[in-house]
Chains A and B, each alone.
Chain A
């Protein structure tokens, strides 16, 4: 089909008059049954490069995409154009997915979006035997490369699939962000005969700023003062990216405190809530969404007016990818990065350094897998590793072809590969060095005196010479943070009245969500606790008592409690008991010492997995006489809330004994990765 003929069809099907040259170049190759890697910036129109030929081909085009939000969004658009498009994903019911598979088998679906993880699903595998397949697309293809910023193990299967596809079946891989190294890696992995088409990455509607600060307070104050003004000035909404899920909570509460219209979003929230936030973002329901980088990738909102990072990303590629979501309509958009030279390097460094478990743990997992065929759940139990760590180990072992993930009877198991090579820790070292190099490049971005967009384009392999006039190093005025006493007071007031929630409430027990006085790692609460527990053995200092009482008054002040109980200790003597007695004196609520351990438990902190923690405290408590509990409202005190397994176990016991309400109260709540 010639370009003019195609453009007539394009007008008819997509209501667009013409292709860009690079789009047509890609489409023409796909018509010839070739394989193409297309690297183009966000907003270029990569999707059209496969959507258009998909409508021309006789069978079904399968698009592997890691982003559910993107799938939903694109399917909606295609359907509105009258093109039969569907997506299969984990957020739909099995019945919905099964129906779509059935439709695809009958040739009723032209474009089918699917998550790479679906290659593990039996129904899908069955369907692929019967479908009339005309093209395969790998979206977000940088996920293929371990050198990329978002490597996903499920993509390994997609690479193998592409290698096995017959000659003449068109394959398109697309990405907006690939350095030369990632480009070469993708090309090498997808096999011979791949053509790379690379466009320019310049985003001239961006206004790029870096704000250097001396503390977290300065970030919060600047944002408190300016974020609403920024949204109003630019006439839209934006995204504030934080480094951790906890930070999304803290900033969200801070904005709430200031009555700034905003909401938090992170991958830990349930699917319905996330969908509601995504919809709200599309409709500018809030001035700002505070999120981890889980939000935005693939969301086709043309008018995100600002993107602000409170935490430096791990690399310029991460950064370019995340800011790429702004200003797709070509209008001016503010891109701001905060950087605190004393603190901010620590988090990405910790990700890089702490992301890899010790070699001993790898060896342990190999030996467990050699001893039997286990599921993930069984492996967590057998190895006593945190799920996140175990997943890293499993991914690496699969990457090195030491184990494989198999599917027997619809259940995943991990299998040792006979005669496989032994573990090669060198490759971890290489990867670590590459990541540290990337992080240093990101720090260079902060410090650069040249054009910031040029810095990013150069890093991503787009070295074209252009005029760059869109940052605080060129034509824009630098932003400085001015801290006034009023704002310091407002922030102080917020800090003293904001307490982390302990989410333990379930339908089965009378436990309610409780509160901690502080996060463990924030301020000096954690170190004070650590000192008393593991160094001096002296009572917890009074400031912790005051802080905890404050949390109690703020959150449970209206409730009349009958009894105070505390979690009996494993090792740290009477610290919690003494603390609870002090609380009892102040609150004038009776305390009972009758909650006892019925078996010796280990310290929870030695267990890495939640499953092992649960097992450690299972049936470990008793209360006599049980009549003291019946009909009572109870405050349950502990020093540190980590996984919540102990609180849940005691809550369940007290519910059985007739307590009508159990409210947990702790001094601190840990944040993933806190060393106790």
Chain B
């Protein structure tokens, strides 16, 4: 049991979050910067940090008056969060702070300062340190997308790679079921708080105690499912994986009824922007989805078994050239 759990939960969830209507709020990066300062640079614990004086917060950490007020108000929640921490502990849920050696290194490398302050997990935490792939795709995926998912999950399991998925219908569920069916390991990334997943804990009890399934959430433990949380969860799925496979990217409608590209597309694009290799199932010509669009944007097409369909070897330099801004080429030609 980490005695400082209540402090980490407080830092993660009890500071007012940044938003367009609250531009003075805390971004994840602000919290990460603070952690770097007190933990890595000043080498003090989070408990000691919370017990510093206002002056020290202002002087040594350059916190604004408003941030100091925020921290003081958050501090009021420490006792409440201690009760919560005890409940989590009693239910076998671990709270892994970003400074912990148990925290997923892959997630930290991929998300950098956007890595969540804490992870709530249940299951064997060793799973977070294994090689991993994410299989993502639509909730109402086609039969061929599900077949692709099944193939990739089983291949990954054979190679002792962990399958990361988001516990939604369609591709997510298929990825999990396929990995479990061949005794592979999986991470379920929840679109909700971990304490609202009771039915899942009952269903996957055997897999959890056998060390084959790890359930993970980054949200306040009691938070119920919401579309916003489902969207916010997507980067975590991508972040936890070393390789990303897209089974099917389909459009969906937003709250206003307008058509959007959907979470899979947004997540894959985010991955591409971060320079990550994203494998996308090459669709048949009759399929109506955005897989080809992702391939056009730089994703790597793969066949039903995940084999690359690019005829020439794809190197990292090649990808970086493709993603270089056009202006560099025009400047080059002008100079010529």
Contact = CB atoms under 8 A, between A and B. Distances in A.
* A and B interact: yes
A419 B125 CA distance: 11
A519 to B, nearest CB: 42
Contacts of B160: none
Contact of B80 (A130, A157, A404): A130
Given A164-B1, A164-B5, A167-B51, A133 B80 contact: yes
B202 interface: yes
Contact of B79 (A126, A165, A373): A165
Contacts of A406: 90-92, 201
Contacts of A359: none
Contacts of B34: none
Contact of A404 (B51, B92, B202): B92
Interface residues of A, number: 36
B209 A415 contact: yes
Contacts of B198: 408-409
A466 interface: no
Nearest to B78: A166
A119 B87 contact: yes
Contacts of B201: 373, 406, 408
Contacts of A160: 1, 86, 89-90
Contacts of A199: none
User: Which of B82, B85, B91, B222 is the most central at the interface, judged by chain A CB atoms within 10 Å of its CB?
Assistant: B82
B124 interface: yes
Contact of A157 (B7, B76, B86, B222): B86
A69 B317 CA distance: 76
A373 B78 contact: no
Interface in A139-191: 157, 160-161, 163-169, 191
A409 B210 CA distance: 23
A128 B84 CA distance: 8
A476 to B, nearest CB: 50
B3 A164 contact: yes
Q: Could you tell me the dominant secondary structure of chain A's interface residues?
A: mixed
Contacts of B82: 161, 164-166, 169
B6 A164 contact: yes
A63 B230 CA distance: 40
B205 A415 contact: yes
User: Which of A130, A164, A416, A419 is the most central at the interface, judged by chain B CB atoms within 10 Å of its CB?
Assistant: A164
A157 B84 contact: no
A405 interface: yes
B46 to A, nearest CB: 11
Nearest to B220: A129
B211 interface: yes
Nearest to A192: B3
Contact of B202 (A133, A163, A370, A408): A408
A370 B87 CA distance: 22
A166 B211 contact: no
Q: Could you tell me the dominant secondary structure of chain B's interface residues?
A: helix
Interface string A354-379: 00000000000000001011000000
Nearest to A128: B83
Contacts of B7: 166
Interface string B195-211: 00011011001101111
Interface string A369-408: 0101100000000000000000000000000000011111
A163 B123 CA distance: 23
A528 interface: no
Given A164-B5, A166-B78, A415-B205, A125 B83 contact: yes
B211 A418 contact: yes
B90 A166 contact: no
Interface string A602-644: 0000000000000000000000000000000000000000000
A408 B199 CA distance: 8
Contact of B51 (A131, A168, A408, A415): A168
B141 to A, nearest CB: 30
Nearest to B208: A418
B92 A165 contact: no
A418 B85 CA distance: 20
A258 interface: no
Contacts of B124: 418-419
A169 B85 CA distance: 16
B6 A418 contact: no
A406 B205 CA distance: 12
Contacts of B202: 373, 408, 413
B284 to A, nearest CB: 43
Contacts of B47: 166-167
A167 to B, nearest CB: 6
A128 B211 CA distance: 32
B210 A418 contact: yes
Interface in B59-91: 75-76, 78-80, 82-87, 89-91
A32 to B, nearest CB: 14
B209 A169 contact: no
Contacts of A419: 124, 211
A417 interface: yes
Nearest to A191: B3
Contacts of A119: 86-87, 90
Contacts of A166: 6-7, 47, 50, 75, 78-79, 82
Nearest to A404: B92
User: Which of A119, A131, A167, A370 is the most central at the interface, judged by chain B CB atoms within 10 Å of its CB?
Assistant: A167
A647 to B, nearest CB: 38
Contacts of A373: 201-202, 205
A417 B5 contact: no
Interface string B106-135: 000000000000000001100000000000
Contacts of B76: 132
Contacts of A133: 79-80, 83
Contact of A125 (B84, B89, B205, B209): B84
A169 B76 CA distance: 11
Contacts of A126: 222
Interface string A110-140: 0000000001000001101111110010000
B93 to A, nearest CB: 9
Contact of A129 (B1, B80, B89, B199): B80
A566 B78 CA distance: 66
Nearest to A408: B198
Contacts of A164: 1, 3, 5-6, 82, 85-86, 89
A-B pairs, top 8 by smallest CB distance, nearest first, are: A128-B83, A166-B78, A408-B198, A133-B79, A164-B82, A161-B86, A373-B205, A165-B82
9 contacts: A119-B90, A161-B83, A164-B6, A169-B79, A372-B205, A408-B198, A413-B202, A415-B92, A419-B211
Interface of A: 119, 125-126, 128-133, 136, 157, 160-161, 163-169, 191, 370, 372-373, 404-409, 413, 415-419
Given A119-B87, A160-B86, A409-B198, 17 more contacts: A125-B83, A129-B80, A129-B83, A129-B84, A133-B79, A161-B86, A163-B1, A164-B3, A166-B7, A166-B50, A168-B51, A169-B79, A191-B3, A372-B206, A408-B201, A409-B199, A415-B209
